[in-house]
Chain A
Amino acid sequence: MTRAAAAILRKDLQIELRTKQSVPAMALFSVTAFVLFHFGLDRDRLDGALASGVLWVTLLLATVLAVNRLFAHEREQGGLDGLLLAPIDRTAVFVAKATALYLYLALLELVAIPAYAILLLGPSPLDQLPALLAVLALSNLGLACVGALVAALAAEARARDLLVPLLLLPLLTPVLIAAARATEPLFAVHPETGDLGKWVAVLGLYDLVFMLLSIAVFDFLLED
């Protein structure tokens, strides 16, 4: 399975590097959203709960863009049949797609977090960097697992552009809540760790549940 997952991931990254469709679109969307929040809220600096909420809503919506494109090359170029004909464990497709989405999110955050710090965020994210990285890593895992699952579910659907946000956003609400609550004290004017441990545990539990669920049902989603 590892060999097949690595092959699919490598192919996906190769195509993304060549076409630059997902990550640049996600980054551009995020920066645009920060500018819109800047004018919409009429604030130069955000902190605490508001800063945390704005960041995570933006990242969540950017994730929708990537999830919509996750099976695009298979769908548009007929490659899904090619994958289904191969003698591979279909869990490998899930692992590859979730890993690709995880990497896209990490790359997005490399651009989005500094942009957020420049455009809107009051407290410097560098002050609480290790804790912030832990929250991002765990949140990305949840987003990637659920994103890959929903992308597979919608891959062959006619109204997939509608289906993806309608399925994805409710499923990701627990990630949004936990990630925003975990980030809130990190973005406070006087940073503290507060309930960080509790919300990190919630994120970890969510990741575990959805990873196991995705592995269990992914085969069936790719069946005709």
Chain B
Amino acid sequence: MRRYGERLALDGVTVAVEAGQTLGVFGSNGAGKTTLLRVLATLLRPHAGTARVLDADLPGDAWKVRGRIGYLGHEALLYRDLTARENLVFQSRLFGVERARVDEVLEQVGMQRRADEPVRNLSRGMLQRVATARAVLHDPPVLLLDEPRANLDPKAAELLEPLIGRASGRTRVLVTHDVEGGLSESDIALGLRRGRQEIAGSATVDQLRELYR
């Protein structure tokens, strides 16, 4: 359970995701999707209850899972005054990742050519590509994705598929408003309304669309 002041942001969510599976999280704005993701990413402490990620109980064992989670949220988490490469090199130092991996992910997201431009000069789509590179730089087994394809053109979305898509083989928690697309790549669906769980398990497109009414 998590509150923001008096407002209940998340309560009574119980769902289990096996390794390699994808949990699709659906719900209208303010339903608690981002809060759930931030709790799982150890960025928010739940006020009651626990979440278990990679055999670590959150929030107590948060330190055990940091470094094994890739988080791609609304914010790119990049320093605008640094270049894409400098941002990734900085992240590689924090995560103890080899320098060569930076070039590898820049290549994978198609940003080698623009890697030495300050991030502030990049378009939103390119920013999203660099943010994706940051999220997978340390090759995390778990990905927490909040609208990961926002601002991406179809070609870029296809390019990033091996990194953050089902083909990546990672366990994923995917927050999206694209009900049909999200459901098609989810093993488990979680429907939230005003912070409470309405659907957990299998769901139809119509059931999930109902959450937005």
Contact = CB atoms under 8 A, between A and B. Distances in A.
A85 interface: yes
Interface string B5-48: 00000000000000000000000000000000000011111000
A224 B39 CA distance: 10
A87 interface: yes
Contacts, number: 72
Interface in A2-23: 3-4, 6-8, 10-11, 14-15, 18-19
B67 A87 contact: yes
Given A81-B75, A223-B45, A224-B44, A86 B94 contact: yes
Which DSSP category, helix, strand, loop or mixed, fits chain B's interface?
loop
A86 B90 CA distance: 11
Contact of A81 (B67, B68, B73): B73
A71 to B, nearest CB: 12
B44 A14 contact: no
B81 A79 contact: no
Nearest to B74: A78
Contact of B93 (A4, A18, A73, A82): A4
Interface in B115-134: 134
B41, B75, B78, B79: which has the most chain A beta carbons within 10 Å? B79
A15 B43 contact: no
A81 B43 contact: yes
Contacts of B81: 15, 18-19, 73, 77
B80 interface: yes
Interface string A75-97: 00111011111111000000000
A3 to B, nearest CB: 7
Contacts of B82: 11, 14-15, 18
A87 B93 contact: no
Given A18-B81, A78-B75, A78-B76, 7 more contacts: A6-B93, A14-B86, A15-B79, A81-B73, A82-B77, A86-B94, A87-B94
Interface of B: 41-45, 63, 66-69, 71, 73, 75-82, 86, 90-91, 93-96, 134
14 contacts: A7-B93, A7-B94, A10-B90, A15-B79, A73-B79, A73-B81, A77-B80, A79-B78, A79-B79, A81-B75, A82-B77, A85-B71, A85-B77, A87-B95
